[in-house]
Amino acid sequence: MLQRLSLRARLSLLLGGVLAAGLLFGVGLLILHAGSRVNAEAEGATRLARDLVYATLPRLSTSSDPKSEVAELLEDLRRLRHVRATFEGQEGPVQPAEKPAPEWFSALVFRAPPPTRIETPLGAIDIAANPADEIDEIWQEIVWLAIGATAVAGAAFALVSYAVSRTLRPIASLSEGLLRLEQGDRAMRVPADGPPEFVAIAERINALAATLERLDEENRLLLRRMIHVQDEERRDIARDLHDEIGPFLFTVRAGVGALARKARNPDAEPARLAEDAEKIDAQIAALQQVNRRILGRLRPAALAEMGLADAIQALVRGWRETRADVDIELATEGARGEMDEITALTAYRVVQEGLTNAFRHSGAARIEVAIWRDGDRLRICVTDDGAGLPETRTNGGLGLRGMAERVGALGGTLEITNLPGGGASLSTTLRLGASLKV
């Protein structure tokens, strides 16, 4: 049941319970103290009445009017509080209390002892404790104290409840802010007011909203970059198809047409026909080479067939054949062994992008490629001794930014720095997995 109550209701219920328990405890202490107070008063009054009777007894034996002495003694005894005196079973009139205490209270605080009987020459006098007026006074005190304490407790409860309500008021705005944040309103901000604890929570919620807003903007930028990279890739492929494959296809088609015309000629020489067929075959072979290069850009076939280390060696071997003037040092010990396909492909693309940028922009005479493992991480470093990156482009071009985003999506890091002695360094760290073998 308590789980369904709000925090304000729980605190109010707890406070009300504490105040009620304190009030009951105080009343209980008063009742316990009332018993000893009534008994002390009753004992004192009984002892005083007994002493008074014993002091009067010698006068009765010498008095000329003993009855008058007894009547005067009884009158004196009736003036005493908390005691009742009777002569030979005759009890005088008892003045009723204006607001008598309940019987249960009287029985709780006082248990009457047996009356004291004193024999006189004229008869016996019975003295009994009768603290009814004291019990009534105590009961009235308890009633008024309870009323006063209840009023004070009620006022305290009202004040504390008001303070608690004002203190917990920021919870509603915090809850509303979190709901708006859950619904996608990243621009919302929670007012930072109230106690320091709530101010700190509001500031953290606002910081979270600002972070999510920034991440949303970064995701939008990333999506635009991905679309731009895809468009660039499509344009590059279209350009290669148009500029390289197109002329080969035209040449092959023209050669096949010429070969067909010569073959229809009855005087055609077989040697000439074979020579034309060899030319067409050479064109087709060149066309296949261009096709393999384009496919290698899209997805390196050697990566799936030979593994990451051999695929990178094949990539470097191709660069060495086309750029023999550049010395390429390669260390691929960390590229061997089990590795998931996505990590292997990303590592290959990082090396490919690093080599491409080094050859196109740095003018380097020496390039070093190193791949090693550091625990559960794969580290890649491509360095050159070229001109390095300009200060205004330390983050690289679009290709490197896209590569950095791809590495970051896999939980890795990519960093490009200029070396003190000249040249640039591309350092990448990737998390290793073993779900697939490459």
In a domain, 94, yes or no: yes
Computed over every residue of the chain, the mean pLDDT equals 80
In a domain, 318, yes or no: yes
In a domain, 175, yes or no: no
| Three-class DSSP category at 325 | coil
Greatest CA separation found in the chain?
191
| Boundary (domain end) residue, out of 279, 298, 317 | 298
Q: Give the rounded distance of the alpha carbon of 377 from its chain centre.
A: 30
Output the pLDDT for position 372.
Answer: 93
Residue with the bigger pLDDT between 417 and 288: it is 417
In the chain, the number of structural domains is 3
In a domain, 354, yes or no: yes
In a domain, 173, yes or no: no
H-run or E-run covering 17: helix 7-62
Amino acid at 110: F
Q: What is the pLDDT of residues 38-57, one digit of tens each?
A: 888 888 888 888 888 888 87
In a domain, 168, yes or no: no
Output the pLDDT for position 94.
Answer: 47
Q: Please, what is the Cα angle at 200 between 196 and 201, to 5 degrees?
A: 120
Contact 372, 334 (CB under 8 A): yes
Q: What is the pTM of this model?
A: 0.46
| Boundary (domain end) residue, out of 159, 185, 203 | 159
Output the pLDDT for position 335.
Answer: 86
- How distant, in Å, are the alpha carbons of 270, 287, 334, 378, 379 from that of 372? 59, 37, 4, 6, 5
Q: What is the pLDDT of residues 328-341, one digit of tens each?
A: 999 988 888 888 88
Residue that is written with structure tokens 């990156």 in the block:
389
- 272 shares a domain with 237: yes
- 420 shares a domain with 377: yes
Contact 347, 335 (CB under 8 A): yes
Question: Residue 256 half-sphere exposure, CB side, CA atoms within 13 Å?
Answer: 9
- Mean pLDDT for 417-422 is 84
CATH of the domain at 431: 3.30.565.10
- 143 shares a domain with 13: yes
432 DSSP assignment? -
Neighbour count for residue 140 (Cβ, 10 Å)? 14
- 434 shares a domain with 312: yes
Distance CA 246, CA 116 (A): 137
In a domain, 290, yes or no: yes
- Mean pLDDT for 256-272 is 79
- 50 shares a domain with 20: yes
Q: What is the pLDDT of residues 372-389, one digit of tens each?
A: 998 888 999 999 988 777
Name the residue among 348, 354, 356, 369 with its Cα closest to residue 438.
348
pLDDT of residue 66 exceeding 80, the answer is no
Q: What is the pLDDT of residues 84-112, one digit of tens each?
A: 777 765 554 444 445 578 888 888 888 87
Q: What is the pLDDT of residues 197-234, one digit of tens each?
A: 888 888 999 999 999 989 888 888 877 877 777 787 78
- 135 shares a domain with 77: yes
Distance CA 370, CA 355 (A): 12
- 420 shares a domain with 324: yes
| Three-class DSSP category at 274 | helix
CA dihedral 247, 253, 254, 257 (to 10 degrees): 180
Distance CA 348, CA 351 (A): 5
Name the residue among 131, 113, 146, 149 with its Cα closest to residue 31.
146
Q: Using H for helix, E for strand and C for coil, what is the string for 164-192? A: HHHHHHHHHHHHHHHHHHHCCCCCCCCCC
Neighbour count for residue 141 (Cβ, 10 Å)? 12
Residue with the bigger pLDDT between 289 and 154: it is 154
Residue with the bigger pLDDT between 259 and 398: it is 259
- How distant, in Å, are the alpha carbons of 176, 197, 214, 279, 302 from that of 202? 11, 9, 18, 77, 55
Distance CA 159, CA 173 (A): 23
In a domain, 414, yes or no: yes
Output the pLDDT for position 434.
Answer: 41
- 319 shares a domain with 291: no
Q: What is the pLDDT of residues 116-144, one digit of tens each?
A: 888 777 778 878 887 888 888 888 888 88
- Reading phi first (left if > 0) and then psi (alpha if -120 to 50, else beta), residue 363 is in left
Distant-in-sequence, close-in-space partners of 138: CB < 8 Å, separation ≥ 6: 30, 34, 37, 38, 101, 109
Q: Which domain holds residue 420?
A: 306-438
